[in-house]
Structure 1
Amino acid sequence: MADSRALRVGVDIGGTFTDLAVLDDSGIVAVGKALTTHHEPAAAVEAVLRQAIADHRLDPADIATVVHGTTLVTNALIERRGARTALLTTEGFRDVVEMGREHRYELYDLGLELPRPLVPRHLRFGVRERVRADGAVVTSLDAAAVKQLGVELAAAGVEAVAVCFLHSHTNGEHERQAREILEAAAPELRVALSSEVNPEIREYERSSTTLANVYVQQLVEDYLADLRARLGGLGVRTDPLIMLSNGGVAAIEVARRFPIRMLESGPAGGALGAVAFGRTARRPDQLAFDMGGTTAKLCMIEQDRPLITHTFEVDRVYRLRAGSGLPVRAPVIDMIEIGTGGGSIARVDPLGLITVGPDSAGSEPGPVSYGRGGTRCTVTDADVVLGYLDPARFLGGDMPLDAAAAASAIREQVADRLGVSVPEAAWGIHTTANENMANAARVHAIERGQDPGRLPLFVSGGNGPLHGPGVARALGSPSMVAPPAAGVLSALGFLSAPMSIDIVRSRHALLGEIGLDEARALFAEMESEGAEVLTASGVAAADVVHERTLEMRFVGQGSEIEVPVPPVGDGWRDEVLASFRRQYAQRFGTVAPAGVEPELLTWRVTARGPEPAARLGFESTSDGRDALIGHRDAYFSPDGYAPTPVYDRYRLRPGAVLTGPALVEEREATLLVPPGARCTVEADSSIFVEFAVGGSR
């Protein structure tokens, strides 16, 4: 056994692989990957951790922290595997969740399919009660009707109830009364209140969020209990912390109460890893690019912070079309998702063009080269044919790939249809995937007031280092950064995340009319609530810090922007106005109009604990002279196949310089250094790639 030490474990369940990273004070101790077990997600977590413990002779009793992120909530909503749920709302408003915003996300599609609510109409009930927008009670709650509904719903097999009354974000008393009545009449019902889950304006989004939260709550509780038991069975003595979508971690009780905040917990880790490495290397602004087996995700990093959004869509009818899914209001790292991953299926469309994705072979059955029954060629199959992946060393040799089967599938499904050779078809698949991702990245950056051509691309995910150079060159990015253990960077990124919780209130007021005492009291109330959650999770009260933002707009506008604001004091309104105007100019590229008064809608406080000290790199045990481990034929257009140097990532020492073409291999990922590029191993073990101006792609 190893000497006693504090180990920190990060685990990320993705669509294709479950990733593991283990750190101690010196850096990375172990990494691992296992195919995700969709029917029983915690089983893959147990398997990959058990393997790491055995391979590296770790003592489970030394594990001080386990941070876990998962796509469980997203998958449950997409697959409709939640509880049988009912909705209680104000009389006359039962169809809000079906009417939505009455927005056609595709104007010319005559067969337009709208997102299907989680609760069918026969399980949506209007209750007599009414509260005005200012919180004044107009009509008292019909307690007898709520009691009767509780009895009938339980008898009908309903398991969960979302209570979403009109204007309850201003006054939630009727919702609290309804919960007391339901719990007394039918104790077996699980009840969620919109005034607790999402106390914000806009009935449709608030109702949709509350329904989603209670719909998956039992499923998440069962999963977390299974995860706890499996970790305990391995000898781990600590409860896992759960990664939230906002880039912070929380105790397991917070995740059980608000599972909707786990919605995008897995992808958050890649952005956090980019922040951690960027801070070490003094790169505050980056474009973080994470390409896994199923999708790719991109995120803007500004001043060492990932951008945050508060609206997310899940279960889209059209996967990449905004407006076609169910809205969820929760703090989420602002990412764009692209239906391109290693498992994305390639085909020739009716116009004779290669298309990639958005459908994926996933992990079951996976790409053809996995040899698990997949029959449709994918991006990974193309990368094998091009020589970028070593069939014998994939995942350290634990999962050999079938290059001949991949070539045969590409020949039948793409090459023969286009009248080109198999390598040319594979190159077309590879570059099409890169261009798809670059186009999405360009739009994402420009919409947020950034020029992608000036930003370094930070790559992660099992396929990020392989496709990142092509994406960076298509964007015109000057450079690219490939961190160590890029294939499991989400799991590593979890270990750099602080404890965090977001508190929100909606309070409408004109900036010029809001009283300073009122503003001070509202922020103080929210900060107290956030501090209480964190201290209950083990954070010392003195270590809690608060960040305040306001969602603001000009009077007459229909949407808001989020504005950072200082603590309330003398001159506060002027400081808020100046901050609003700066954010407005950056977002829209124009000076904010004069003579129009701004108004405040939503108040936010993020409470954070201290950031953990985590060294995410590793130290080479080699002098660097044995890093070159051979050559492999790799394809680069227009020259074709050429013997290409292959380096062992673990034997490269800081300061080492390589020129392309080259392949740099580690267990979970392969870095492709294109012809004409130059790369340097940095002090934190990351590889900094610079592209020659006008060089080959």
Structure 2
Amino acid sequence: MPAQRQLHAGIDIGGTFTDLCLLDRDGIVAVRKTLTTHREPAAGVESVLRATLREHRLDPGRISAVVHGTTLVTNALIERRGARTALITTAGFRDVVEMGREHRYELYDLGLELPRPLVPRWLRLEVPERVLADGRVDTPLDVDRLARVAVELAAAGVEAVAVCFLHSHTNPAHERLARQVIAEAAPTLQVALSSEVNPELREYERSSTTLANVYVQALVADYLTDLQGRLRGLGVTPAPRIMLSNGGVATIDTARRFPIRMLESGPAGGALGAVAFGRHTGRTDQLAFDMGGTTAKVCIIEDGRPLVSHTFEVDRVYRLKPGSGLPVRAPVIDMIEIGAGGGSIARIDPLGLLTVGPDSAGSEPGPVSYGRGGTACTVTDADVVLGYLGPDDFLGGAMPLDAAAAARAVTEQVADPMGITLAEAAWGIHATVNENMANAARVHAVERGQDPARLPMFVMGGNGPLHGPGVAHALGCETVLAPPAAGVLSALGFLSAPLSIDFVHSWHTELDAITLDEAAKSFAALESQGEQVLGESGVAPDAIAHVRSLEMRFVGQGSEIEVPVPPVGDGWHDAVRRGFAAQYEERYGAVLPHGVEVEILTWRLTSRGPEPDARLRLPPPTGTAAARIGTRQAYFPQAGGYVETAVYDRYRLQAGEVLTGPALVQEHEATLVVAPGMRGEVLPDGSILVHLRSGRGAR
């Protein structure tokens, strides 16, 4: 009897749905989407995996790898559900996290709200100590005072402490000593050091990041322990690996130490899925568009890699206003978040205009058509009215939609107040949210030096294939690639992620002042850390790849740019200078005149293991049943209104088949809309390449 094929499981907990994908060496075996259980997220993971294994008669012992991403960290910070946390800092600096950078993100708003620190002022305590910017000790740490502070905090019910001393990124000795003192004086306190969590200059960002990390550390540790126990209870023995925001995966131990690196793990999986499918189809540059139930996200893929940023904001006072949230310094795939999803609420504003989002009905209670108590008209309700979503086919028929209730909500909340028909109101909601997303995507691309019309769009998420072609048309894109299992693509993309970890070290020096030996030693120290962490996960040293970069600027500037650099060797200084000039010119359109010195602020290294051998594809159909399973009325204004539209079963489509719009392609967790004037082509991996025929397609 032949050995059964091993399975890899990707599991993503999103704001509305929890997604599962099972993969073997031939491709996708099973996918499933279920509503997220916010109060007990690990229970939802257990439930969706148990149901999928039972439905497909799969042995849990065949699962050899589990990769998991979750919104737990983000939600805990937004909802303030973390540990009772205190800050211990250098005397005179307790208010750094409240003063921030004294930046007004909305200059003329007299009622401006600033982000509220995670720690109130009475729990921000000071101790005498002082390290200078060059690392020399000016004032030794007062260990007796620190011990008394630790005892007082424990007696006050504090559970976690962030230690953030001035210039500890240059000399961490005081912070390391502080951990020893606190452990002896108050052993119940969880301690995080800024020199370990974020060893970079800029006190505000470093303090904010360390506070956020320790604030959720116990919560994440408990969750991961619960998750691991539930998986073992199902018969799944491998410890889950955790998706990080930078596009790599890590062990549970690393995630427990640095939970802040899990902030954007779900969207990171989607970007990796776009990279993997793009690699197979020769599309190394793409505009990745992910639309779920709560938000939409756009990410630029360049040369087969998603762009990565090192600054992120969480718990924004104004959701889409940069500067209104708590800053976190951690590597994260660079993407823009748009307040648009299937659950986005449509309403008429005081001026009588139609607006959509950014607030969402989420999964509890959800859109009106879900029948779970929702009363606000949403994008999903409009899509049901337009005929794009079949009421009996949603989630493969597992969750029927109430089309009559959706029609009543759109009529009462939009159509009647505006004096238009039901169809016009539903189309207005659909087109408005498309235009909102297209505008945000256009700005995001242009700010990164890209012309969105030049990039093919890759669509994913439960609503990505439904709205993506319309957004792409508004942007002027020529093609849209809709992969199989698009609705669970983050979970699928997890399985293409290598083990990866990032390290950073701040050392401020002019480029010409550093010797090759000093530069080599700086990177070697980071490489040693990467090899140690990945080695503990079973990666051989010769299988580890190191990616080096520097954050640089002209002397006198206040901000810097990241520059990829080669290994240190002959000609290194000139290569770094040329790389900086190229990056600077691409971003700002010019380079300062010759003679202005260049300086380095931060040294960065990403250590990666080998790419997993994951075939992200839909196995070819085995039966002979026709892919076209019927028709239904769907609304397309360029066709004059509702027209009879062909409906296809995604799982029966053969490679090479051509679909002419109007057409709807259904799979369990998503529906692709091919409007009149568009043409879809089924590729060998099961993806559908949609040619928009710019100028003739529909929004």
What TM-score does the superposition give when structure 2 sets the normalisation length?
0.99
- The 8 Å contact of residues 623 and 653 in structure 1, kept in 2 or not, is answered as no
- The 8 Å contact of residues 368 and 409 in structure 1, kept in 2 or not, is answered as yes
Superposition pairs of residues 22-421 of structure 1, within 5 angstroms: 22-421=22-421
- The 8 Å contact of residues 473 and 694 in structure 2, kept in 1 or not, is answered as no
Distance in structure 2 (CA, Å) of the matches to 1:32 and 1:590: 50
Deviation at 1:621, TM superposition (A): 1.9
Distance in structure 1 (CA, Å) of the matches to 2:310 and 2:593: 25
- The 8 Å contact of residues 381 and 407 in structure 1, kept in 2 or not, is answered as yes
SS of 2:539's equivalent in the other structure is coil
| 1:481-502 residue CA offsets vs partner (Å, 9 max, x unmatched) | 0000000000000000000000
> In the alignment, residue 671 of structure 2 is paired with which amino acid?
T
> In the alignment, residue 379 of structure 2 is paired with which amino acid?
V
Corresponding residue for residue 566 of structure 1: 566
1:652 aligns with 2:653: yes
Deviation at 1:537, TM superposition (A): 1.2
Distance in structure 1 (CA, Å) of the matches to 2:491 and 2:697: 33
- The 8 Å contact of residues 520 and 568 in structure 2, kept in 1 or not, is answered as yes
Distance in structure 1 (CA, Å) of the matches to 2:697 and 2:540: 54
Corresponding residue for residue 681 of structure 2: 680
Corresponding residue for residue 643 of structure 2: 642
Moved over 6 A (4+): none
- The 8 Å contact of residues 661 and 674 in structure 2, kept in 1 or not, is answered as yes
Corresponding residue for residue 507 of structure 1: 507
Deviation at 1:456, TM superposition (A): 0.4
Corresponding residue for residue 603 of structure 1: 603
Distance in structure 2 (CA, Å) of the matches to 1:405 and 1:623: 37
Deviation at 1:133, TM superposition (A): 0.5
> In the alignment, residue 169 of structure 2 is paired with which amino acid?
H
- The 8 Å contact of residues 385 and 406 in structure 1, kept in 2 or not, is answered as yes
SS of 1:512's equivalent in the other structure is helix
Question: Where in structure 2 are there 5+ consecutive unaligned residues?
Answer: none
> In the alignment, residue 414 of structure 1 is paired with which amino acid?
V
Deviation at 1:159, TM superposition (A): 0.3
Deviation at 1:625, TM superposition (A): 6.3
Superposition pairs of residues 448-459 of structure 1, within 5 angstroms: 448-459=448-459
- The 8 Å contact of residues 248 and 500 in structure 1, kept in 2 or not, is answered as yes
- The 8 Å contact of residues 14 and 266 in structure 1, kept in 2 or not, is answered as yes
SS of 1:220's equivalent in the other structure is helix
| 1:625-674 residue CA offsets vs partner (Å, 9 max, x unmatched) | 60111111000114100000011111111111111111000010000001
Distance in structure 2 (CA, Å) of the matches to 1:253 and 1:527: 19
Deviation at 1:624, TM superposition (A): 6.6
Corresponding residue for residue 8 of structure 1: 8
Question: Where in structure 1 are there 5+ consecutive unaligned residues?
Answer: none
Q: Residues 65, 380 of structure 1: CA spacing in aligned structure 2 closer, same or farther, 3 A cutoff?
A: same
> In the alignment, residue 682 of structure 1 is paired with which amino acid?
L
- The 8 Å contact of residues 497 and 612 in structure 1, kept in 2 or not, is answered as yes
Distance in structure 2 (CA, Å) of the matches to 1:597 and 1:377: 57
SS of 1:149's equivalent in the other structure is helix
> In the alignment, residue 192 of structure 1 is paired with which amino acid?
A
Deviation at 1:592, TM superposition (A): 4.5
Deviation at 1:378, TM superposition (A): 0.3
- The 8 Å contact of residues 660 and 673 in structure 1, kept in 2 or not, is answered as yes
Distance in structure 2 (CA, Å) of the matches to 1:469 and 1:511: 47
SS of 2:166's equivalent in the other structure is coil
Corresponding residue for residue 587 of structure 1: 587
- The 8 Å contact of residues 340 and 433 in structure 2, kept in 1 or not, is answered as yes
Distance in structure 2 (CA, Å) of the matches to 1:199 and 1:218: 22
Deviation at 1:399, TM superposition (A): 0.2
SS of 2:294's equivalent in the other structure is coil
Corresponding residue for residue 661 of structure 1: 662
Distance in structure 2 (CA, Å) of the matches to 1:559 and 1:689: 41
- The 8 Å contact of residues 90 and 129 in structure 1, kept in 2 or not, is answered as yes
Deviation at 1:539, TM superposition (A): 1.2
Q: Residues 624, 596 of structure 1: CA spacing in aligned structure 2 closer, same or farther, 3 A cutoff?
A: farther
SS of 2:214's equivalent in the other structure is helix
Deviation at 1:622, TM superposition (A): 4.6
Q: Residues 2, 66 of structure 1: CA spacing in aligned structure 2 closer, same or farther, 3 A cutoff?
A: farther
Deviation at 1:693, TM superposition (A): 3.0
| 1:347-405 residue CA offsets vs partner (Å, 9 max, x unmatched) | 11122221111110000000000000000010000000000000001001100000000
Deviation at 1:557, TM superposition (A): 1.0
- The 8 Å contact of residues 2 and 58 in structure 1, kept in 2 or not, is answered as no
> In the alignment, residue 330 of structure 2 is paired with which amino acid?
A
Distance in structure 1 (CA, Å) of the matches to 2:538 and 2:228: 18
Deviation at 1:304, TM superposition (A): 0.4
Corresponding residue for residue 475 of structure 1: 475
Corresponding residue for residue 442 of structure 1: 442
> In the alignment, residue 464 of structure 2 is paired with which amino acid?
G
Distance in structure 2 (CA, Å) of the matches to 1:571 and 1:692: 48
Deviation at 1:556, TM superposition (A): 1.2
- The 8 Å contact of residues 228 and 240 in structure 1, kept in 2 or not, is answered as yes
Distance in structure 1 (CA, Å) of the matches to 2:145 and 2:87: 14
> In the alignment, residue 69 of structure 1 is paired with which amino acid?
G
| 1:108-165 residue CA offsets vs partner (Å, 9 max, x unmatched) | 1111110000000000011100001010001100000000011111111000000000
> In the alignment, residue 185 of structure 2 is paired with which amino acid?
A
> In the alignment, residue 214 of structure 2 is paired with which amino acid?
V
- The 8 Å contact of residues 2 and 59 in structure 1, kept in 2 or not, is answered as no
Distance in structure 2 (CA, Å) of the matches to 1:199 and 1:167: 9
SS of 2:86's equivalent in the other structure is strand
> In the alignment, residue 655 of structure 2 is paired with which amino acid?
P
- The 8 Å contact of residues 585 and 592 in structure 1, kept in 2 or not, is answered as no
Deviation at 1:589, TM superposition (A): 2.4
- The 8 Å contact of residues 9 and 66 in structure 1, kept in 2 or not, is answered as yes
> In the alignment, residue 382 of structure 1 is paired with which amino acid?
A
- The 8 Å contact of residues 19 and 488 in structure 1, kept in 2 or not, is answered as yes
> In the alignment, residue 267 of structure 1 is paired with which amino acid?
P
Name which of structure 1's ranges 616-625 and 143-152 shifts more when overlaid on structure 2: 616-625
Deviation at 1:596, TM superposition (A): 1.2
- The 8 Å contact of residues 67 and 243 in structure 1, kept in 2 or not, is answered as yes
- The 8 Å contact of residues 385 and 426 in structure 1, kept in 2 or not, is answered as yes
Distance in structure 2 (CA, Å) of the matches to 1:624 and 1:370: 34
